[in-house]
Amino acid sequence: MPAPINTFKQRLRNRETLIGCWAGFADPYPTEVLATAGFDWLVIDGEHAPNDLRSIMAQLQVLEGKHSEGVVRLPVGADWMIKQVLDIGAQTLLVPMVDSADQARELVRACRYPPAGIRGSGAALARASQFAAIPDYTQTANEQICLLVQVESAAGLAALDDILAVEGVDGVFIGPSDLAADMGHLGNSDHPDVRAAIKNGLARIAASDKAAGILAVSDGSAETYRDWGAQFLAVGIDVLLLAKAARGLRDEWRAPR
Protein backbone atom coordinates (compact mmCIF):
# COMPACT_ATOMS: atom_id res chain seq x y z
CA MET A 1 0.00 0.00 0.00
CA PRO A 2 1.51 3.38 -1.02
CA ALA A 3 1.57 6.73 0.78
CA PRO A 4 -1.70 8.69 0.60
CA ILE A 5 -2.24 10.76 -2.53
CA ASN A 6 -1.52 14.45 -1.93
CA THR A 7 -4.59 15.96 -3.58
CA PHE A 8 -3.30 19.52 -3.06
CA LYS A 9 -0.19 18.72 -5.09
CA GLN A 10 -2.26 16.88 -7.66
CA ARG A 11 -4.60 19.85 -8.09
CA LEU A 12 -1.68 22.27 -8.43
CA ARG A 13 -0.29 20.09 -11.21
CA ASN A 14 -3.69 20.22 -12.88
CA ARG A 15 -3.42 24.03 -12.83
CA GLU A 16 -6.51 24.46 -10.66
CA THR A 17 -6.91 27.73 -8.75
CA LEU A 18 -6.99 26.87 -5.04
CA ILE A 19 -8.39 29.32 -2.47
CA GLY A 20 -7.02 29.15 1.05
CA CYS A 21 -6.95 30.82 4.44
CA TRP A 22 -4.45 31.20 7.27
CA ALA A 23 -5.04 29.25 10.49
CA GLY A 24 -3.25 31.20 13.19
CA PHE A 25 -4.92 30.28 16.48
CA ALA A 26 -2.54 27.35 17.05
CA ASP A 27 -5.35 25.12 18.27
CA PRO A 28 -7.36 22.33 16.59
CA TYR A 29 -10.80 23.62 17.59
CA PRO A 30 -10.81 26.89 15.56
CA THR A 31 -8.99 25.14 12.71
CA GLU A 32 -11.78 22.56 12.57
CA VAL A 33 -14.34 25.38 12.55
CA LEU A 34 -12.43 27.07 9.74
CA ALA A 35 -12.47 23.82 7.76
CA THR A 36 -16.29 23.93 7.65
CA ALA A 37 -15.98 26.94 5.32
CA GLY A 38 -14.67 24.63 2.59
CA PHE A 39 -11.41 26.39 1.73
CA ASP A 40 -9.18 24.31 -0.52
CA TRP A 41 -6.21 24.71 1.82
CA LEU A 42 -5.42 26.05 5.28
CA VAL A 43 -2.00 27.20 6.43
CA ILE A 44 -1.09 25.86 9.86
CA ASP A 45 1.36 28.63 10.67
CA GLY A 46 4.47 27.72 12.63
CA GLU A 47 6.35 30.90 11.76
CA HIS A 48 4.27 33.68 13.34
CA ALA A 49 1.60 31.74 15.27
CA PRO A 50 2.46 30.02 18.60
CA ASN A 51 2.39 26.49 17.20
CA ASP A 52 4.60 23.60 18.25
CA LEU A 53 4.92 20.06 16.91
CA ARG A 54 2.00 18.72 18.94
CA SER A 55 -0.39 21.56 18.08
CA ILE A 56 0.48 21.18 14.39
CA MET A 57 -0.19 17.45 14.61
CA ALA A 58 -3.54 18.01 16.32
CA GLN A 59 -4.63 20.36 13.54
CA LEU A 60 -3.57 17.88 10.86
CA GLN A 61 -5.67 15.28 12.66
CA VAL A 62 -8.86 17.38 12.63
CA LEU A 63 -8.34 18.21 8.94
CA GLU A 64 -8.00 14.57 7.93
CA GLY A 65 -10.83 13.65 5.58
CA LYS A 66 -11.93 17.29 5.21
CA HIS A 67 -12.01 19.27 1.95
CA SER A 68 -9.38 21.68 3.31
CA GLU A 69 -5.82 20.43 2.91
CA GLY A 70 -3.36 21.32 5.66
CA VAL A 71 -0.29 23.27 4.56
CA VAL A 72 2.31 23.50 7.33
CA ARG A 73 4.46 26.62 7.41
CA LEU A 74 7.69 26.10 9.31
CA PRO A 75 9.51 28.87 11.19
CA VAL A 76 12.69 28.09 9.22
CA GLY A 77 13.75 25.47 6.70
CA ALA A 78 15.81 23.35 9.12
CA ASP A 79 16.14 19.72 8.09
CA TRP A 80 15.29 18.43 11.58
CA MET A 81 12.05 20.45 11.61
CA ILE A 82 11.13 19.17 8.16
CA LYS A 83 11.75 15.58 9.28
CA GLN A 84 9.50 15.98 12.31
CA VAL A 85 6.53 17.60 10.56
CA LEU A 86 6.64 15.07 7.73
CA ASP A 87 6.63 12.24 10.26
CA ILE A 88 3.53 13.62 12.02
CA GLY A 89 1.69 13.49 8.71
CA ALA A 90 2.23 16.78 6.90
CA GLN A 91 2.46 16.30 3.15
CA THR A 92 2.64 19.96 2.06
CA LEU A 93 5.23 22.34 3.50
CA LEU A 94 5.58 26.10 3.12
CA VAL A 95 9.10 27.29 3.93
CA PRO A 96 9.82 31.01 4.47
CA MET A 97 12.78 33.15 3.44
CA VAL A 98 14.19 31.17 0.52
CA ASP A 99 16.76 33.35 -1.24
CA SER A 100 18.69 30.98 -3.53
CA ALA A 101 18.51 27.87 -5.65
CA ASP A 102 21.07 26.17 -3.40
CA GLN A 103 18.79 26.72 -0.41
CA ALA A 104 15.82 25.35 -2.38
CA ARG A 105 17.80 22.25 -3.36
CA GLU A 106 18.67 21.56 0.28
CA LEU A 107 15.01 21.83 1.21
CA VAL A 108 14.11 19.31 -1.49
CA ARG A 109 16.72 16.90 -0.12
CA ALA A 110 15.36 17.32 3.41
CA CYS A 111 11.90 16.30 2.16
CA ARG A 112 13.07 13.10 0.44
CA TYR A 113 14.27 9.71 1.55
CA PRO A 114 17.69 8.48 0.35
CA PRO A 115 19.19 8.23 -2.14
CA ALA A 116 17.37 11.36 -3.39
CA GLY A 117 17.59 13.10 -0.02
CA ILE A 118 18.43 12.97 3.67
CA ARG A 119 15.07 12.38 5.39
CA GLY A 120 15.46 9.93 8.27
CA SER A 121 13.86 6.57 7.50
CA GLY A 122 12.35 5.68 10.88
CA ALA A 123 8.80 5.80 9.53
CA ALA A 124 7.56 2.87 11.62
CA LEU A 125 7.23 5.27 14.56
CA ALA A 126 5.48 7.89 12.50
CA ARG A 127 1.86 8.93 12.08
CA ALA A 128 2.68 9.51 8.40
CA SER A 129 2.99 5.75 7.81
CA GLN A 130 -0.05 5.08 10.02
CA PHE A 131 2.44 3.52 12.43
CA ALA A 132 3.75 1.01 9.89
CA ALA A 133 0.26 0.15 8.58
CA ILE A 134 1.43 1.54 5.19
CA PRO A 135 4.23 -0.93 4.38
CA ASP A 136 5.33 0.92 1.23
CA TYR A 137 5.39 4.37 2.82
CA THR A 138 9.13 5.02 2.57
CA GLN A 139 9.23 3.77 -1.03
CA THR A 140 6.35 6.00 -2.16
CA ALA A 141 6.36 9.08 0.12
CA ASN A 142 8.73 11.26 -1.91
CA GLU A 143 6.29 11.70 -4.78
CA GLN A 144 3.49 12.81 -2.44
CA ILE A 145 5.42 15.56 -0.64
CA CYS A 146 4.62 19.06 -1.90
CA LEU A 147 7.27 21.71 -1.26
CA LEU A 148 6.31 25.37 -1.48
CA VAL A 149 9.06 27.95 -0.98
CA GLN A 150 8.55 31.58 0.00
CA VAL A 151 10.40 34.23 -1.96
CA GLU A 152 10.13 37.44 0.04
CA SER A 153 13.27 39.49 -0.48
CA ALA A 154 15.05 41.32 -3.26
CA ALA A 155 17.70 38.59 -3.21
CA GLY A 156 15.03 35.92 -3.62
CA LEU A 157 13.48 37.73 -6.56
CA ALA A 158 16.90 38.12 -8.17
CA ALA A 159 17.39 34.35 -7.84
CA LEU A 160 13.81 33.48 -8.83
CA ASP A 161 14.58 31.97 -12.22
CA ASP A 162 17.20 29.70 -10.66
CA ILE A 163 14.80 28.69 -7.88
CA LEU A 164 12.13 27.89 -10.48
CA ALA A 165 14.56 25.52 -12.18
CA VAL A 166 14.99 23.38 -9.04
CA GLU A 167 13.40 19.96 -9.45
CA GLY A 168 11.29 19.08 -6.42
CA VAL A 169 10.01 22.59 -5.76
CA ASP A 170 6.29 22.48 -6.50
CA GLY A 171 5.35 26.11 -5.93
CA VAL A 172 6.76 29.52 -5.11
CA PHE A 173 4.91 31.81 -2.73
CA ILE A 174 5.55 35.55 -2.81
CA GLY A 175 5.55 37.15 0.65
CA PRO A 176 4.30 40.74 0.20
CA SER A 177 4.93 41.96 3.75
CA ASP A 178 8.54 40.84 4.09
CA LEU A 179 9.26 41.81 0.51
CA ALA A 180 8.01 45.33 1.21
CA ALA A 181 10.17 45.51 4.33
CA ASP A 182 13.25 44.30 2.46
CA MET A 183 12.64 46.88 -0.25
CA GLY A 184 12.55 49.68 2.32
CA HIS A 185 8.76 50.02 2.55
CA LEU A 186 8.00 48.36 5.88
CA GLY A 187 4.24 47.98 6.37
CA ASN A 188 3.40 49.17 2.86
CA SER A 189 3.03 46.28 0.42
CA ASP A 190 0.90 48.58 -1.75
CA HIS A 191 3.88 50.80 -2.60
CA PRO A 192 4.18 51.01 -6.40
CA ASP A 193 7.68 49.52 -6.40
CA VAL A 194 6.55 46.57 -4.27
CA ARG A 195 3.46 45.97 -6.39
CA ALA A 196 5.58 45.99 -9.52
CA ALA A 197 7.95 43.45 -7.98
CA ILE A 198 5.04 41.22 -6.93
CA LYS A 199 3.46 41.41 -10.37
CA ASN A 200 6.72 40.53 -12.07
CA GLY A 201 7.38 37.67 -9.65
CA LEU A 202 3.93 36.12 -10.00
CA ALA A 203 4.10 36.34 -13.78
CA ARG A 204 7.48 34.60 -13.91
CA ILE A 205 6.29 31.82 -11.62
CA ALA A 206 3.04 31.36 -13.53
CA ALA A 207 4.99 31.06 -16.79
CA SER A 208 7.06 28.22 -15.34
CA ASP A 209 6.07 24.67 -14.42
CA LYS A 210 5.67 25.74 -10.77
CA ALA A 211 2.54 27.08 -9.07
CA ALA A 212 2.42 30.72 -7.95
CA GLY A 213 1.07 31.54 -4.51
CA ILE A 214 0.46 34.57 -2.30
CA LEU A 215 -1.54 35.88 0.68
CA ALA A 216 -3.95 38.79 0.33
CA VAL A 217 -5.80 40.46 3.20
CA SER A 218 -8.27 42.47 1.13
CA ASP A 219 -10.66 41.55 -1.68
CA GLY A 220 -9.07 44.09 -4.00
CA SER A 221 -5.54 42.75 -3.60
CA ALA A 222 -6.78 39.15 -3.86
CA GLU A 223 -8.45 39.84 -7.19
CA THR A 224 -5.35 41.65 -8.43
CA TYR A 225 -2.99 38.85 -7.39
CA ARG A 226 -5.26 36.28 -9.05
CA ASP A 227 -5.19 38.29 -12.25
CA TRP A 228 -1.40 38.49 -12.03
CA GLY A 229 -1.08 34.70 -11.98
CA ALA A 230 -1.58 33.46 -8.41
CA GLN A 231 -2.77 29.87 -8.50
CA PHE A 232 -2.88 29.06 -4.79
CA LEU A 233 -4.27 32.18 -3.20
CA ALA A 234 -4.91 32.75 0.51
CA VAL A 235 -7.67 35.33 0.99
CA GLY A 236 -7.78 35.78 4.76
CA ILE A 237 -6.31 35.15 8.20
CA ASP A 238 -8.59 33.63 10.82
CA VAL A 239 -7.22 35.75 13.67
CA LEU A 240 -7.91 38.94 11.72
CA LEU A 241 -11.35 37.70 10.66
CA LEU A 242 -12.37 37.24 14.29
CA ALA A 243 -10.79 40.49 15.42
CA LYS A 244 -12.53 42.48 12.67
CA ALA A 245 -15.91 40.87 13.34
CA ALA A 246 -15.61 41.36 17.10
CA ARG A 247 -14.58 45.02 16.81
CA GLY A 248 -17.33 45.70 14.29
CA LEU A 249 -19.92 44.18 16.62
CA ARG A 250 -18.60 46.25 19.53
CA ASP A 251 -18.77 49.44 17.47
CA GLU A 252 -22.31 48.62 16.37
CA TRP A 253 -23.51 48.30 19.94
CA ARG A 254 -21.61 51.35 21.16
CA ALA A 255 -23.44 53.52 18.64
CA PRO A 256 -26.67 55.20 19.77
CA ARG A 257 -29.80 53.15 19.06
Q: Which residues are catalytic?
A: 48
Rounded CA gap, 164 and 8, in Å?
A: 19
Run of H or E residues at 18: strand 18-23
Among residues 93, 233, 210, the alpha carbon closest in space to that of 162 is found at 210
Among residues 134, 168, 171, the alpha carbon closest in space to that of 4 is found at 134
Total residues belonging to the chain: 257
Given the DSSP bridges, would you call strands 69-73 and 171-174 parallel, antiparallel or unpaired? unpaired
**Could you give the residue ranges of the DSSP H alpha helices within 93-237?**
101-110, 137-140, 154-158, 160-164, 176-182, 192-206, 219-227
CA angle 157, 162, 167 (to 5 degrees): 125
